[in-house]
Structure 1
Amino acid sequence: MRPDHGVPEKEEAEPEHPFAPFIRTLGRGPGRSRALTREEAREALRMVLAGEAEPVQVGAFLMLLRYRGEDPEELTGLVEAARGAVKAGPVQPGHGGVDLDWPSYGSGRTRGAPWFLLAALALASAGHRVLMHGSNAFTSGMPVLDALPMLGLRPARSRDEALERVEETNFAYLPLRAMSPGLDEMLHLRALLGLRSPVNTVARLINPADAPAGVDGVFHPPYIAAHLGVAQRMARPRLLVMKGGGGEAERGPAKPVAAHLLTYPDVEVLSLPALRETRASAAGFVEVWTGSARDEHAEGTVIGTIALGLLAMGKASTPEAADAQAAEIWNRRFG
């Protein structure tokens, strides 16, 4: 037996985890780190959603993405992985499809009722097929999930059920947790990490039913270019992006706003005028929908938001025409 001279045996190097290169690429340091390529980002999020990354790696990955800023090429790969996970794509034959994709992932601290939901329902009453999807877990206002039963509606439990609902009623709401539990879990890491991650952007851009048009609200104007950049790389036909109330695709009536409309491959900036000088009030959400209560600010918000959908779908040629048509749709929402 060899005598023990107190020299420790050499430890064998632990093999590197397959996900580690993605974190290293993002976090090497000034002058050495870089954004992931589209292909790298697609594979990285695929691994995360397949459970092939450790929890500590997922947290580091999300925060490095956040710290570096949202790169359109990188985001495109992330969106492609998310679409693969939710089996996004064209609607199967036999279904009428979806006209308008409406993501709802706002978490603004000043949000009240989701007036944009009434706009989507009014568009549905006019024959436009709308699929809304989202999560409002961090909003201080009324989440869509709480508003639906107030209107006699319920969320879909799967993408297939959502498409059936759209076929029957022209509208469905698909919660992110039903569409992708993995993405929903990543979104909820905000409570642990203290910061919003790019998953919020990724979820907004999934377009689960390949609708030819979409409306998209952001909280900070710099995100507009990133959202449009992804849409262009994915050759989406039409997408309207704007800074909306609480980060939602919602247009307040009292101030003019700029809307960025992608008609692939070009982007046009539309100047949407103020509709009416009003101030927010405490009008009842259901009462405004049924017409049992009148509120100029709430109704102006809904009408202005209906116009966003019309412009996104190309159903109106100018903002003024969209506003006029939107008012008519709202006034005739019950036939």
Structure 2
Amino acid sequence: MTLAPYVRILGRGQGRARSMTIDEATGAMEAMMAPDAAPEAIGAILMLLRMKGETAEEIAGFAAGARSSLPDWPGPAPALDWPTYAAGRSRGLPWFLLAARLVAQAGVPVLLHGWNSHQSPGANVRDALPEAGIPRAADIPDAAARLARGGIVYLPLEALSPRLMELLRLRDVLGLRSCINTTLRMLNPAGAPAAVQGVFHPPYRELQSDAAGILGLKELTVLKGGGGEFEHHPAKDIAIFGLRDGQSWTGGTGTLVDAHQRLADAPTEPGALSALWEGRLQDEFAESIVLSTAALALDTVGATDDGAAMARALWDDRSRRAA
């Protein structure tokens, strides 16, 4: 299938170009997923969208088109989709991994998926997975099996979809971020009924929330978080956006501690993750990052009327539950 019609829609010139409909965006992504898609046309579409600014319909269509290329999830769907596609900006340790593990300890199966290997060693999500006690899957069937056994797994993008990985890596060629980053956050490859998403730039909160609503997601929380991940600064009351029972929703995170610290001011050695979980490290700020992030995720899935209280109870009881 040629991509020329989609390039024409976006690039006809002033007064004639327009945004794509959701059906057109779905068709464009399905065409881009083909191995013989013209790279020049792919680059043109991605950069025209960047110049114009993506609409919620375009992001929803891209996500639908990308999802249609994936195999059916071979097992029960997770309860929570947790994409992790940080853009490589400096940040501290990925404390949100412990938050995801805490949510899984509550009996809420969590699928993490992403691409983060380009980050610095201290912030590299994949290097931190063993310290956080989260397994890494080799492929989709392995991810489904590990999720069924342990309630949490990380699925690398290149194992989820090599083609989507190729499209994401076009950033190295084009020198600019494209809407593929946002599309991957919206992918929800296993069809979870709820999702949490992080953004770096605030306007994407509403964009992703609106796109998720178009896609039929019921529960979503979008947060401007550490390094663009779903990770809360516990000393800040941050505006959050999303969906509750399929309806647009906004709120605030509240604060858990009174501190004047950056997320990067918490311990930076990867071993601090396992040390905090096992109780060998006492760090109130790092603990608060984990608890406040977990509370938001628990609220998203509707696991409790008080996510903060549940997160604290799970944290205090974590050694028995992890055994």
The question of a shared fold, defined as TM-score above 0.5 by the shorter chain, is answered with: yes
The answer to whether the 8 A contact 2:2-2:31 is kept is no
Q: Which amino acid aligns with 1:191?
A: D
The answer to whether the 8 A contact 1:100-1:131 is kept is yes
1:75/1:151 Cα in 2 relative to 1: closer, same or farther (>3 Å)?
closer
Give secondary structure in 1 for the equivalent of 2:62: helix
The answer to whether the 8 A contact 1:241-1:260 is kept is yes
- State the distance in 2 between where 1:119 and 1:174 align: 17
Mean Cα deviation higher: 249-258 or 79-88: 79-88
Give the gaps of 5 or more residues in structure 1: 1-16
- Partner of 1:120 in structure 2? 100
Larger radius of gyration: 1
- Partner of 1:214 in structure 2? 195
- Partner of 2:145 in structure 1? 164
What is the correspondence of 1:32-71 to structure 2 with a 5 Å cutoff? 32-71=16-55
Structure 2 residue 268 is the aligned partner of structure 1 residue 287: no
For residue 254 of structure 1, report the CA deviation from its aligned partner.
1.1
- Partner of 1:329 in structure 2? 314
- State the distance in 1 between where 2:71 and 2:319 align: 35
- Partner of 1:243 in structure 2? 224
- Partner of 1:143 in structure 2? 124
What is the correspondence of 1:168-247 to structure 2 with a 5 Å cutoff? 168-247=149-228
Structure 2 residue 249 is the aligned partner of structure 1 residue 265: no
Superposed CA offset, 1:230-255 (max 9, x none): 11111111111111111111101111
1:257/1:184 Cα in 2 relative to 1: closer, same or farther (>3 Å)?
same
The answer to whether the 8 A contact 1:126-1:333 is kept is no
Q: Which amino acid aligns with 1:148?
A: L
1:316/1:259 Cα in 2 relative to 1: closer, same or farther (>3 Å)?
farther
Superposed CA offset, 1:110-137 (max 9, x none): 3111111111111112221100011114
1:234/1:151 Cα in 2 relative to 1: closer, same or farther (>3 Å)?
closer
Give secondary structure in 2 for the equivalent of 1:334: helix
Superposed CA offset, 1:97-121 (max 9, x none): 3111100011252311111111111
For residue 48 of structure 1, report the CA deviation from its aligned partner.
1.3
- Partner of 1:13 in structure 2? none
Superposed CA offset, 1:56-110 (max 9, x none): 222112111111111111111111111011235xx55xx4431111000112523
Give secondary structure in 2 for the equivalent of 1:128: coil
Give secondary structure in 2 for the equivalent of 1:236: coil
Q: 1:134 aligns with which of 102, 114, 117?
A: 114
- Partner of 1:275 in structure 2? 256
The answer to whether the 8 A contact 1:177-1:183 is kept is yes
- Partner of 2:303 in structure 1? 315
Give secondary structure in 2 for the equivalent of 1:101: strand
For residue 52 of structure 1, report the CA deviation from its aligned partner.
3.3
Give the gaps of 5 or more residues in structure 2: none
Give secondary structure in 1 for the equivalent of 2:165: helix
Q: 1:306 aligns with which of 294, 308, 311?
A: 294
Q: CA RMSD of the aligned region, Å?
A: 1.7
Q: 1:78 aligns with which of 49, 55, 62?
A: 62
The answer to whether the 8 A contact 2:81-2:192 is kept is yes
1:231/1:153 Cα in 2 relative to 1: closer, same or farther (>3 Å)?
closer
Give secondary structure in 1 for the equivalent of 2:123: coil
Mean Cα deviation higher: 263-272 or 296-305: 263-272
The answer to whether the 8 A contact 1:107-1:137 is kept is no
- State the distance in 2 between where 1:151 and 1:247 align: 19
- State the distance in 1 between where 2:104 and 2:133 align: 15
Superposed CA offset, 1:272-303 (max 9, x none): 21110232232522211222111111111000
Q: Which has the higher helix share?
A: 2
- State the distance in 1 between where 2:57 and 2:133 align: 41
- Partner of 1:101 in structure 2? 81
Aligned residues: 312
Q: Which amino acid aligns with 1:273?
A: G
Q: Which amino acid aligns with 1:205?
A: M
For residue 30 of structure 1, report the CA deviation from its aligned partner.
1.5
